Structure 1
Amino acid sequence: MDIEDAWARVPGEAARWLHELDPDHCYSGFEPPRRPDAAWVLHAMYSWEEGLVTTTHDDVHQSVTAAGLTEPADPAAETPGDVGDLLEGAIVTGTGLGRSGHPGAGWRRLRWRELARGFGEPAVPDGELPGSRCLRQAHPAGSWSAAIQPPAEGCLDRESWYRLIGVLLRHSPSGAGTRCLAYYCPLVTADWDDETVLAGRLGDAAGLYDHPAMASCPSDLWAEDRSWVVYCDWDLWGTKVVGPAALIEAVLDDPDLESLRLPWTR
């Protein structure tokens, strides 16, 4: 079945209960509180198998620009003056926004804990959320080594999304038939007037990753009975899963998901 047929648009009111739980979501996704347990799935990063280099993503960008190899600007998509000036001097960090996945041959999965251990620091510092404040020694000037594909912002990586859906399927009493809803925040949809909510089955949730009308996995995905919620903030490098203790333990124990509890989060 086509993903647009499997997931039908429903009134935005369906997400009101999440808005009430997190009224200050700032259009980037609703963060649900621990209900009763929670874990964060860290978005995957990758390292070039032949080793790290001191050249950064910004160095590569500057070299390509200096050589005149960048794509010419599209006059029809010209950036407004003030924003354009800001972007002109911006550092290219290497961090993507939206969908991501394994880069292919020559790259290996680099665990957050492995990189953090090398620097003698925690993967996520106390009091922080998974995001740009993490692993600072790996990008001290803002840009990552060109031999690392850092975690994507705003969307769980493809492989972890598929794996997480598999865990949810095993821990939902109705399995593939579990009725679910998916909310996409305005930063994904660019629709600031109406809440975008889709309804479908958990068995069809893996396909949401490539929904043709969206640039990301859902900002929130939840079972209709609200027994579990998956939350992916557009500004973060981690995805929060809340639900029963058995589900959260399964997420934490899954060898293909890099997950951890952040007790200072609600």
Structure 2
Amino acid sequence: MNRVDPPQEHLRWLRQADGSGWAGFDVRGWPDALWLLHGMFVDVELGQRRRLTWSELAGRAGGLAPAQMDDFPHPQQWGFDAYSDHFSEPVHEGSLDVESWDGLLGVLQDAACTECYVFICEMHTDDWAGGGEFWTGDVSELATWVGRGDDDCTPINIWAADRSWFVYTDADGLATYVGGSELLIRRLRQDDRIEIISARRSA
């Protein structure tokens, strides 16, 4: 990936949709969309761990996972505490976990457009005067991406150069929004590395 000056045409589009983007840009209105729920893990034996899904934890707590959501999902809506000491690796805040990241990239690499832009917001660069960072390249180059800030997070925003798909992880969020074509979203639903919940198509 190559760092670039803010692409003005894209920056205008992003800001028209969601203001300054200090915690990331949230662009809606796609043909289909979903939320990728960030993973939580427990140790099962030495050197091994197991992912606990939100649905599984909701069942243990006597809760019920919603069918779809407009706003960012939060574990409290499922009836469990994502920050419990029970987890060896609690829910990732502001970043996808490795398994979900790999699942997302696996689908995006097969999209019609793989040329993409990446935005890292000020909250992750810790440069409040700089307006964040923009990068560009191919989706395949993101496979080894780690955050460019001190907290080593996955990117806040990724979107296709032709704007056919869009990814948004709020800097404080526990889920990642993905919007795009019905085909792209269907492929994400079929990937067993990720846990998803539908986002309303109007959102």
Q: Shorter-chain TM-score: what band?
A: 0.7 to 0.9
Say yes or no: does 1:20 pair with 2:16. yes
Q: Distance in 1 between matches of 2:107 and 2:15?
A: 26
Superposed counterparts of 1:1-266, under 5 Å = 6-11=1-6, 13=8, 14-23=10-19, 25=21, 27-49=22-44, 105-123=47-65, 129-131=72-74, 133-138=76-81, 143-170=83-110, 172-174=111-113, 178-195=114-131, 196-209=133-146, 211=148, 215-263=152-200, 266=203
Relative distance call for 1:23 and 1:167 in structure 2 (3 A) is: same
CA positional deviation for 1:199:
1.1
Opposite residue 155 of structure 2, the aligned amino acid is: P
CA positional deviation for 1:210:
5.2
Q: Distance in 2 between matches of 1:115 and 1:39?
A: 20
Opposite residue 119 of structure 1, the aligned amino acid is: A
RMSD between aligned residues = 2.6
Specify the structure having the higher radius of gyration (Cα): 1
How many residues are matched?
Answer: 200
Relative distance call for 1:234 and 1:212 in structure 2 (3 A) is: closer
Identity of counterpart residues, as a percentage?
31
Q: Distance in 2 between matches of 1:214 and 1:149?
A: 15
After TM superposition, the score normalised by the length of structure 1 is: 0.67
Q: Distance in 1 between matches of 2:76 and 2:20?
A: 21
* 124-133 or 108-117, larger mean C-alpha shift: 124-133
Structure with greater strand share of residues: 2
1:232–1:238: 8 Å Cα contact kept in structure 2? yes
1:43–1:237: 8 Å Cα contact kept in structure 2? yes
Unaligned stretches of 5+ in structure 2?
A: none
Q: Distance in 2 between matches of 1:222 and 1:120?
A: 37
2:124–2:149: 8 Å Cα contact kept in structure 1? no
Opposite residue 35 of structure 1, the aligned amino acid is: W
Q: Distance in 2 between matches of 1:227 and 1:264?
A: 15
Opposite residue 36 of structure 1, the aligned amino acid is: P
CA positional deviation for 1:205:
1.7
Q: Distance in 2 between matches of 1:264 and 1:222?
A: 18
Structure with greater helix share of residues: 1
Relative distance call for 1:138 and 1:132 in structure 2 (3 A) is: closer
Relative distance call for 1:163 and 1:127 in structure 2 (3 A) is: closer
Q: Distance in 2 between matches of 1:247 and 1:259?
A: 13
Q: Distance in 2 between matches of 1:265 and 1:147?
A: 35
Unaligned stretches of 5+ in structure 1?
A: 1-5, 51-103
CA positional deviation for 1:251:
0.8
Measured against aligned partners, the alpha-carbon deviations of 1:216-247 in whole angstroms (never above 9, x if no partner) come to 11110001000001111011110111000010
